[in-house]
Amino acid sequence: MEYFVLYTLMAAALGLFMAWGIGANDVANAMATSIGSRVLTMRQAVLVAAIFEFLGAVLAGGEVTSTVRKGMIDTELLVGDPQLLIAGMLAALAAAGTWLMLATRAGWPVSTTHSIVGAIIGFAVVGIGFDAVHWEKVSAIVASWVVSPIIAGVLAFILFTTVRRLILETTEPLQNARRYVPFYMFLGGTLITLVTLLKGLKHVGLNLSMVESYSLAAFVGLIITVIGIYFIRRIPTPAENDREKQFQAVERVFAVLMVLTACAMAFAHGSNDVANAVGPVAAILSTAKTGSVLQQSPIPVWVLLLGGVGIVFGLATYGRKVIATVGHQITHLTPSRGFAAEMAAAGTVVMASGTGLPISTTQTLVGAVLGVGFARGIAAINLGVVRSIFFSWVITLPAGAGLAAMFFYIFRLLPG
């Protein structure tokens, strides 16, 4: 294709812009509970976010990227006109990016995932036709937006209830925290590693058998647990048998666990949300390169890298300021609660990433927070804000779609 370089540059620039936006705004949401419970300092939080967002994007971001790239529209209708797909995907990126910027300016809680899904549907309906959209796939995605916060909420409720039963409500909460927290570490570490191994490593060219994957995941989980136990042992037992002091020490044990869940959350976010930026880029690249819409070529690793770099760049330039603000805003979340919410959300997001469903990390996390709230774990939840977060996607879908349609007509003028 003669304009290959032009399209590549445009796609890369828009994709990078969107990844930058995710890093600048979205990451703060993913890390909020960790920062709020004072487990990590700002600097550490930014570092953890950078490393694990990047790893999540590159190692486990492939499936969702595929869905965004080619799962939602029927590319067979485009065989004769590859330029249409390129213009459409460029329009989707531009639309989602613009909408996110507008929403951020206005302070609306919108999801990057919803923006890009809306945008892709928008261009497909306008540019190709109503039937070009794989509606059954799109309904599955929309259903996952309803289901994922509920699953995360139920998981968080169960997790916090077990924490309460095993540790908090006992007569010796500190001893029991030391005893049981390592199990949660093992569970979390193994789960995240397993999803990465099963779903992510194909892209890096590593093929493990099922048994190998499970054993390696358990092994990594074990190493993480041993490191965790080392840090838990270093927490001093308060001399007096004062309940308040005891609970403070218990929270310090959970703080160790929460470092792990913070990493998991950043990883999960990277694995799910980077696709919003690089999915369309991957679609444009392969079409522009081969001049054909119907290819089975895998997603080039460098596209995922681009997303990872974009997120880290957004985090470094703007996101760390947002994270600092969040740290001052959330002061009422203790690690025993924050961990339950984060672990449930991270687990849900990573599993969704494994199945290729693009879900909203923020909404999943809010669902998890509500789950802990239902278990009487959180002092005060502002339901007004919760409602606005959940309903934001009702407006985001048509807004993304409308903007994408508009940009589509502009990009259609590009040379083919």
Partner 1 sequence: MGSYLSKIFSASPLHELQQHMAKVAACSGELVPLFEALDKQDNALVGEIQKRIHKLENEADDIKRQIRLHLPRSLFLPVDRADLLELLAIQDHIANTAQDIAGVLVGRKMRLPEKTGTAFLEFVSSAVAAAAQAEQTVAEVNELFESGFRGAEVDIMESMITKLDDIERETDKIEVTIRGRLFAMENNLPPVEVMFLYKIIDWIGDLADDSQRVGSRLQLLMER
Residues near partner 1 (CB under 8 A) are: 25, 28-29, 32-33, 36, 109, 160, 163-164, 168-171, 173, 243-244, 247, 250, 321-322, 325-326, 329-330, 332-334, 336, 362, 365-366, 369-370, 373, 375-389
Nearer to partner 1, 111 or 225 (CB): 111
Nearer to partner 1, 32 or 217 (CB): 32
Q: How far is the CB of 157 from partner 1 (least distance, A)?
A: 12
Q: Kindly write down the DSSP assignment for every residue of 222-246, as one continuous string.
A: HHHHHHHHHHHHTSPPPSS--HHHH
Nearer to partner 1, 93 or 250 (CB): 250
Residue 50 tokens, joined: 């950078």
Q: How far is the CB of 244 from partner 1 (least distance, A)?
A: 6
* 354, 140 contact by CB (below 8 A): no
Buried b / exposed e over 200-239, threshold 16 CB at 10 Å, is bbebeeeeeeeeebbebbeebbeebbeebeeebeebeeee
DSSP 205: T
Residue 412 tokens, joined: 């259609």
Nearer to partner 1, 212 or 242 (CB): 242
Q: How far is the CB of 127 from partner 1 (least distance, A)?
A: 32
Nearer to partner 1, 309 or 333 (CB): 333
CA neighbor of 119 nearest in space, from 275, 276, 299, 272: 276
Long-range contacts of 101-110 (CB under 8 A, 24+ apart): 101/21, 103/396, 104/21, 104/25, 108/388, 108/392, 108/395, 109/362, 109/385, 109/388, 109/389, 109/392, 110/392, 110/393, 110/395, 110/396
Q: How far is the CB of 173 from partner 1 (least distance, A)?
A: 7
Q: How far is the CB of 330 from partner 1 (least distance, A)?
A: 5
Nearer to partner 1, 25 or 190 (CB): 25
Nearer to partner 1, 21 or 279 (CB): 21
Q: How far is the CB of 255 from partner 1 (least distance, A)?
A: 14
* 62, 199 contact by CB (below 8 A): yes
Q: How far is the CB of 218 from partner 1 (least distance, A)?
A: 30
